[in-house]
């Protein structure tokens, strides 16, 4: 019952690719482009206009792009000017505000709240209820867990906004805070419930509030295999581009190794 | 204006009991059974299909059961294969994913997010914005407060998922984290803002991050009566099966005492 | 496509002021009054009845008032008996339960959850995902950031509910907890990730869990100007009544200085 063509509203200059399916009660505003094979479920809003819409008679909705093979689950709201890569997917009730850019294969969990003016790399996975502040910059293969919040204001309220910057392959566990302007390196682990106030070098584990460097990530024993768990890419393949051949081979193939 | 029969979609083999009321714009997918006197408010989705629905032509929606006298508030999404007991109720925008089972008289607060593959006993109460991970197991009379998160992955990301297990009569206060695989006993109190990384014996109070055993719950003085507050069942009756006769008499009557 | 008059439901005795616009699929229950120039976006519910509605045949919806120049963004739910001042605005999916009163120019962020029986002054700003418990009292110019939770039960569960009370010009940073019955003074700063268990005198900064008095707010150097950042009203003007003339002049003009 998702795809009956019931009560769908399409704005002007909406471009739908091949095999695109649109759920009931979904609204797509002007100048939205949805690429081939994508699915927009029920009750979504794509291309939600920004505040000017209410006050500026000459308001023109900026272009919005949803990449191929994407799946936007029900009740999600994606603002005008957002651009996603291919194979983008969301849970339910996701909010993605204006000027957000996503690479390929990103997953944004249920009720996550992307405040806009952010940049994501490829293969990022946000679990439910993650809050990403404006001006955040997030690398590739970054996983973020529930109730994590990124902040951008060193002394609230001010007008000196500076988002966090997160390196590749980094994991940020539940209920952690990443402070304004902090740089987290590649292959890091932010332990659950941490408050990150200082930069994190590559391969470090930080824990606590304020968080401290407690170990090298490569010293954490796996509960899954005999040996070390990190870099996690050797032990976790599901949905990753190295799913079939393993991380090492994939990396060599790509010429990164 | 909830129950005008407007824009309701019913799938195949939907069974509605006596006096069941369905709100406007609600969608009920195939093979859902809603027992007598239950109310499904506006804009809900009951029996939401899992991801296979989009890709498998032969997808068949599993059975979903909502118990008698239930109240599902607006905008809630309950996945196919969920089974609730009697007198189940939800706040608004609740999400309950697949393979979740609930006993009788459970209340799930607004925006709470049940990730699926979980089991709840009877008379559990989740306040708003609680996040319960997959493979959690929760006893009877367990109350959980806002922004609590259960986790199931000891070293994210891995494939060794193990949810927490919570005993009867336990209270888990706001913004706490229950770690993967942790067993919390009966009659425990998780203090607000705690990070539970080790098992909690019966009748203990844990606080801090990481949380430590700070006292016996039976030593906490009540602000409500002269004497001790816990076990709370002696001081709190509202909506409980001992509401009229008190906990002690109820327990004797049941033969538990 | 917000304002096509499509699938709007209006109850009895609904009063709409001049230039009020109502979005598609929005439901307005009995006895709601929306003042001039206000905008209610798509899929909102205004005047949501309380639980009695389901069981009491003689249920009468109490009066609900939305002040002039308000903007209620899509999917928000405002219960019957709520009263807002002028220029009230919400993000998406906000929930405001019964018996909540707001002064003028309040902004309530996306997914924030106001549990009812609360009182807000003027110019309060809640960011996304703030949880305000029943019986909270919040002054003027109070800003609250994501995942902050107010609690009202000293020993859960009990029946001795007492909400926090927050003074004017106070800032409460991300992921903090304000405990039951706590009084936070004027011009305070609750640092991120704090658990406030004791009263906070005026002009104090508290941090930690449990939080301690760590400094006088007037000693925090600004990253925005040379000099001190707080009281923030000297450094932050956007949307404030002193936007054009500055705080000092505004205060003198008002006779507060």
pLDDT, tens digit, for every residue of A206-240? 999 999 999 999 999 988 888 999 999 999 999 99
Identify the pLDDT of residue B223: 85
Whether the predicted pLDDT of A173 surpasses 80: yes
CB pairs below 8 Å between A and C: how many? 88
pLDDT number for residue B256: 57
User: E strands, B71-160, where?
Assistant: 71-72, 77-79, 89-90, 95-96, 107-108, 113-114, 119-120, 125-126, 131-132, 137-138, 143-144, 149-150
Residue C149: closest CA among C230, C102, C209: C209
Give this prediction's pTM: 0.97
Question: If you measure CA to CA, which chain C residue comes closest to B141?
Answer: C157
**Using CB atoms, which residue from A7, A174, A224 is nearest to B158?**
A224
> Residue range B101-114: average pLDDT?
98
Give the pLDDT score at B87: 98
Contacts of C224 in chain A (CB under 8 A): 155, 158-160
How many Cα neighbours within 13 Å face the side chain of C197?
11
Question: Per-residue pLDDT tens for A41-69?
Answer: 999 999 999 989 998 999 999 999 999 99
pLDDT tens column, C28-81: 999 999 999 999 999 999 999 998 999 899 999 999 999 999 999 999 999 999
Report which secondary-structure segment, H or E, holds A216: strand A211-216
Q: Which residues are B22's β-sheet partners?
A: B40
Among all chains, which residue has been given the structure tokens 């009540």? B222
The answer to whether C1 contacts A7, with C-beta atoms less than 8 Å apart, is no
Query: What pLDDT is recorded for position A1?
Result: 77
pLDDT at C256: 57
Question: Given B77, B113, B177, which is nearest A175 (Cβ)?
Answer: B177
Residue in C43, C128, C235 closest to A158 by CB: C235
| pLDDT at residue C179 in the model | 98
Kindly state the percentage of chain C with pLDDT values over 90: 92
Radius of gyration in angstroms for the set of CA atoms belonging to chain C, rounded to a whole number:
19
How buried is residue A222: exposed, middle or buried, by Cβ count under 10 Å (0-12/13-18/19+)?
A: middle
The label of the residue with tokens 């007991």 reads B85
Give the whole-angstrom CA distance, residue C18 versus residue C6. Answer: 19
> Which residues of chain A lie closer than 8 angstroms to B25, CB-CB?
25
Which chain A residue is nearest to residue B79, measuring alpha carbons? A92
Whose tokens are 């994939």? That residue is A250
CA distance B191 to B34: 37
pLDDT of residue A200: 98
Q: Provide mean pLDDT across the span A168-188.
A: 98
Sign of the Cα torsion A51, A177, B112, B220 reads: negative
Residues in chain C: 257
Average pLDDT over residues B29-38: 98
Mean pLDDT rounded to a whole number for chain A? 96
Structural contact between residues A169 and A141, judged by C-beta atoms closer than 8 angstroms: yes
Q: What is the pLDDT of residue C102?
A: 98
Q: Is C124 exposed, middle or buried (0-12, 13-18, 19+ CB in 10 A)?
A: buried
Q: How far apart are CA B15 and CA B35, in angstroms?
A: 8
Q: What is the pLDDT of residue C162?
A: 96
Terminal Cα-to-Cα distance of chain A (whole angstroms): 47
For position C23, what pLDDT does the model report?
94
Distance between CA atoms of residues B7 and A6, nearest Å:
9
Q: Report the residue of chain B nearest C147, measured CA to CA.
A: B147
What are the tens digits of pLDDT across the range C153-167? 999 999 999 999 999
Examine the pLDDT at C134 and tell me if it is beyond 60.
yes
**pLDDT tens for residues C198-257?**
999 999 999 999 999 999 999 999 888 889 999 999 999 999 999 999 999 999 998 754
Mean residue pLDDT of chain B comes to 96
**Site of tokens 């336990």:** B170
B1-40 core/surface letters (b: 16 or more CB in 10 A; e: else): bbeeeebbbbbeebebeeebbbbbbbbbbbbbbbbebbbb
Look up the ipTM and state it.
0.96
DSSP assignment of C226-243 equals: SSB--SGGGT--TTSTTT
Residues of chain C in contact with residue B145, where contact means CB-CB under 8 angstroms, are 151, 156
| Average pLDDT of span B185-191 | 98
The predicted model gives B8-17 an average pLDDT of 96
Band (pLDDT 50/70/90 cuts) for residue A181 is: very high
Tell me the C-alpha to C-alpha distance, in Å, between residue C42 and each of A7, A47, A59, C9, C45: 13, 14, 19, 12, 9
pLDDT at C56: 93
The rounded distance, in Å, linking the Cα atoms of A107 and A109 is 6
Q: Which of C101, C16, C10, C102 is nearest to C61 (CA)?
A: C10
Find the mean pLDDT for residues B59-74.
Answer: 97
Residues whose CB falls within 8 Å of the CB of residue C194, separated by 6 or more in sequence, listed in order: C173, C176, C177, C206, C207, C208, C209, C211
How many Cβ atoms sit within 10 Å of the Cβ of residue A10? 16
> For residues B227 and C58, what is the distance between their CA atoms, to the nearest angstrom?
42
Find chains touching chain A: ≥3 CB pairs under 8 Å.
B, C
Residues on chain C bordering chain B, Cβ-to-Cβ distance under 8 angstroms: 7, 9, 11, 25, 27, 29, 43, 45, 48, 54, 75, 77, 93, 95, 111, 113, 115, 129, 131, 147, 149, 151, 154-160, 175, 177, 179, 195, 209
Mean pLDDT value across residues A116-138: 98
- How far from chain centre, in Å, is Cα A25? 25
Question: What pLDDT was estimated at residue A256?
Answer: 57
CA-based nearest distance A68→chain C, Å:
25
pLDDT value at position A230?
A: 97
Contact A158 C222 (CB under 8 A): yes
Residue B122 tokens read as 């009877």
A12: closest CA of chain B, how far (Å): 26
More confident residue, A257 or C58: C58
> Which subunits count as partners of chain B given 3+ CB pairs below 8 Å?
A, C
How far does the CA of residue C35 sit from the closest CA of chain B (Å)? 22
Q: What value does the mean pLDDT take over residues B187-198? A: 98
Through-space distance between the first and last CA atoms of chain B, rounded to whole angstroms: 48
CB contact under 8 Å between C74 and A147, yes or no, is: no
C71-114 pLDDT, tens digit each = 999 999 999 999 999 999 999 999 999 999 999 999 999 999 99
């Amino acid at each position: 019952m998702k795809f009956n063509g019931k009560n769908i509203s399409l704005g002007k200059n909406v471009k739908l690719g091949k095999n695109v399916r649109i759920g009931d009660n979904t609204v797509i505003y002007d100048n939205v482009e949805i690429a081939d094979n994508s699915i927009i479920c029920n009750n979504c809003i794509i291309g939600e206009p920004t505040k000017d819409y209410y006050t500026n008679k000459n308001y023109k909705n900026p272009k919005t792009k949803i990449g191929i093979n994407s799946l936007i689950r029900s009740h999600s709201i994606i603002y005008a000017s957002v651009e996603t890569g291919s194979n983008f997917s969301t849970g339910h009730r996701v909010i993605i505000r204006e000027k957000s850019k996503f690479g390929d294969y990103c997953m944004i969990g249920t009720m996550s709240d992307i405040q806009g003016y952010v940049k994501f790399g490829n293969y990022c996975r946000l679990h439910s209820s993650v809050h990403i502040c404006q001006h955040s910059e997030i690398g590739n293969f970054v996983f973020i867990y529930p109730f994590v919040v990124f902040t951008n204001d060193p002394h609230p309220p001010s007008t000196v906004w500076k988002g966090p910057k997160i390196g590749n392959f980094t994991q940020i566990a539940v209920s952690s805070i990443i402070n304004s302007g902090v740089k987290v390196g590649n292959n890091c682990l932010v332990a659950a419930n941490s408050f990150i106030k200082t930069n994190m070098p590559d391969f470090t584990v930080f824990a606590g509030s304020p968080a401290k460097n407690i170990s090298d990530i490569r010293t954490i024993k796996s509960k899954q295999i005999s040996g070390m768990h990190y870099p996690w890419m050797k032990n976790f393949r599901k949905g990753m581009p190295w799913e079939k051949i393993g991380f090492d081979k994939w990396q060599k193939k790509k010429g990164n190794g």
